[in-house]
Structure 1
Amino acid sequence: MSGFLARITHRFVPYAAAADVMRPNQKFRSFVWRASGMHQVYVSAIAISVALANFVPIDLQRRVVDIAITDRDVRALLVLGGLYLAAILVYSGLKYALIIYQGWVGESVVKAARDQLALVATERSALEHARIGQTASIIGSEIDDVGVFVGTSISGCVVDVTMMVSVALYMIYMQPIIALVSGISLLPQVLLALYMQRPLNTLVERQVALVRKLGNQAVNSFGSHSTKRRTTFRTIRTIFSNRIELYLLKFGLKTLLNIASAVGSLLVLIIGGYLVIRGQTTIGAVVAFISGFQRLSDPLGDLLEFYRNYSQTKVQFRMIVQWVDGTVPAGHSTNARA
């Protein structure tokens, strides 16, 4: 199996990105377009197809309950079940193609950026030997994060927006009251994410600066006198504390978002059940709405994750560009606490 995959892998070659893909004072959005260009359009087209394919099962669920099961029609049940299976297979195939395309775009961007960063590092190596550790961090994990965002996040955002719009229109068409309740119940998630993003950005910037600082200290302190080693260990402890603070904030926000989503599902179930009791809708419609709400909540969560990643990747990209320009000393940040 590994040999088969290796033969396929060798057929993939990175596309020819611009030699100077990172430019002085460049905005992150400009970098994304310059680095990936029309590939963002192509991958977004596939992403829209994925979102539409994922929408199809919602109405099929309603039809299975309201038509096949309610009427005890075995033939309709089998036909709808076959259509449901076909929809799953089409969706899965498109999703796999999308993921591979996203990965190829992202890795091509990383390669082009690393080529440029490696040249910058080579030119500075003789003068900045003390900053080798920071250079390794930039060319390694930092540019990886930027490349992954360029490859996956834009088209992922397209999937989520398409999915949310199609599901929302379907829900409004089927039952406007439940659609309104669904929309209102999602609002707290948006407000929470927007409110918490700025402190998350501060922690990410501090983390990047501290890891760069540690890289420089590790290269230059071990084998030296104990004072420098103690400084290095102190930086490691600070990184640990900053990371824990990041976890508390990031996953605390995620927990609150999950609670808000669960409460929204409960509201849809209660109001939908009330409408069924009053004879104003069907059980199949409620089932479809619960599934539809989840297909609204999940893409919304992904969109909020996109916003968080976009904000944090902008911070990382700005720090990398500053390093390329030589405008910020190695391992230095006004937010880094020693």
Structure 2
Amino acid sequence: MIDSRHPFLDEVIHLLGHQLGPSVPMWLHPVMHVVLVWAPLALAAVGLYFLAKALWNNARARTRLLPSKRTHKQGEAGIYGFVLSYSARQQAILIVAGLLSLPILYATLELPKLIINNALSEARPESLIDRLGFTETTLLFVLSGLYLLAIAANGLAKYWLNVRKGRVGERLLRRLRLTIFRHWQRRSHGERDTEVIPLITQEIEPIGGFAADAFAVPVFQGGTLATILFFMFLQDPILGAAALTLLPVQLALIPKIQQRVNALTRTRVSGTRAFGRELGAVLQDNGAPHSSGLGSPIRKRIRFLEEVRERIYRWKFFQKALNNFLTSLTPFFFYSIGGYLVLEGRLTIGALVAALAAYKDISAPLRELFQYYQVREDVKIRYTALQDFIHGARRQTGYEELVGLGSMERRTA
């Protein structure tokens, strides 16, 4: 029993299949508490918060849409409906291909452990060598060759998925551009005609990019994350829990900081556009750029842009430093808890090394999922405003909101 003063922790350890004796060092007690008690509770709390937030936002969105009574099909279907309407078969192929690549990913995690435990370790199971009829050297090269094939297949699978996603996104982007152009040709022209050029060339490109990732990224990156965690939990449940220890902190802080960076970026873009308008006004008033000098509004705008960029740098690199620190801190739990389990003979050194190597791959799918969520929220606004432009809506939601700059433009202009 780890400590009679911690009966709940003792029960948790029993449930995970461990029985730590009285020789466990005292410094390991708080580490076990953090990994097995507080971190899971924090992760559950963060998950409930995001679920409640999603349900609340969905209810508010439905409430806002009721009075408008929009009848056009694409507006009701939304961005996901648009993607499925024109690429359902391609999306299904991407999802199936992503799922089929997950066993290959698992093989790239499992084979290094087999190499260490079965081909290099002095305590290797001799029955495996006898059963396969291999010498120790032959077994090493066979497992190494399988590992080489696995990483090559994993790389080819990712390459194929990325190329296929790019093709799907470009085809949907072409359809969007043709739709915008045809609607613009059929409608009566007016003051919004100048909006069609940036809209059809640049502003809808994120919609095409998201269309390629709409279903493939959650399935593939979520499956990658689940596969890595599944592998860790198979090595030892405590190691799997250790991999999730700092995830609640990342989920709570990183998206908030990224939202701040995004807001500042939109402010910088809108400020740059306002700066261009002011320069254009100076050119019209004075006839030549050299005769205008640097007026007070121009100097203020340049100073404003400098301050915004400095704030972007501070938040952006703070986010990067925090994420790197949290990512580097998690191996402490592997070394402390996993090392103790190895010394006690409850975990092989190969399993610990494989878990450490697998953890390095966790940050990539997490980053992709965070980015997917942020892009989705932006694209939903762009797509709704795109429908307003196509169907001639004259509500407040207009072109400025399409590029995510409406309220920011009014505050900075």
- Percent identity for Structure 1 against Structure 2: 23
Given candidates 159, 162, 174, the residue that maps to 1:96 is 159
Deviation per CA, 1:7-60, whole angstroms, max 9, x where unpaired? xxxxxxxxxxxxxx9934663333333343232121111122233322211110
Q: Which runs of 5+ in 1 are unaligned?
A: 1-20
Q: Deviation digits for residues 107-163 of structure 1, max 9, x if unmatched?
A: 01111111122234446784227x62x433322222111111211353122111111
* Residue 379 of structure 2, aligned match among 296, 304, 313: 313
1:87: how far off?
Answer: 0.7
Over 3 Å counting, the alpha-carbon distance change for 1:218 and 1:44 in structure 2 is: farther
Residue identity matched to 1:335: M
1:156-305 → structure 2 map (5 Å cutoff): 156-196=217-257, 198-200=259-261, 202-203=263-264, 206=267, 217=277, 221=281, 224-226=284-286, 242=308, 245-305=311-371
Q: Is the 8 A contact 1:208 1:316 kept in 2?
A: no
Q: Which moved more, 1:293-302 or 1:199-208?
A: 199-208
Counterpart-to-counterpart distance in 2, 1:254 and 1:136: 36
Compared CA separation, residues 104 and 232, structure 1 to 2 (3 A): farther
1:53 maps onto 2:104 in alignment: yes
Query: CA 1:108 to 1:311, structure 2 compared with 1: closer, same or farther past 3 Å?
Result: same
Shift in alpha-carbon separation, 1:124–1:233, aligned structure 2, 3 A: farther
Q: Does 1:69 align with 2:132?
A: no
Q: Name structure 2 gaps, 5 residues minimum.
A: 1-71, 125-135
Give the corresponding residue for 1:334: 407
Which residue identity does 2:178 align to in structure 1? D
Q: Distance in 1 between matches of 2:231 and 2:249?
A: 22
What TM-score, normalized by structure 1, do the two folds share?
0.78
Please tell me the residue identity of whatever aligns with 1:38: R
| Partner residue, 1:109 | 172
What residue in structure 1 maps to residue 39 of structure 2? none
TM superposition shift of 1:97 = 1.2
| Structure 1 position 140 matched with structure 2 position 201 | yes
Question: Which structure ranks higher in relative contact order (CA pairs < 8 Å, sequence separation ≥ 6)?
Answer: 1
TM-score after normalising by structure 2: 0.65
Structure 1 residue 82: deviation in Å? 0.6
Shift in alpha-carbon separation, 1:193–1:323, aligned structure 2, 3 A: farther
Number of positions where the alignment pairs a residue of Structure 1 with one of Structure 2? 315
1:238 and 1:32 map into 2 onto residues whose CA distance is 40
Match of 2:142 among 55, 76, 79: 79
How far is 1:243 from its partner? 5.5
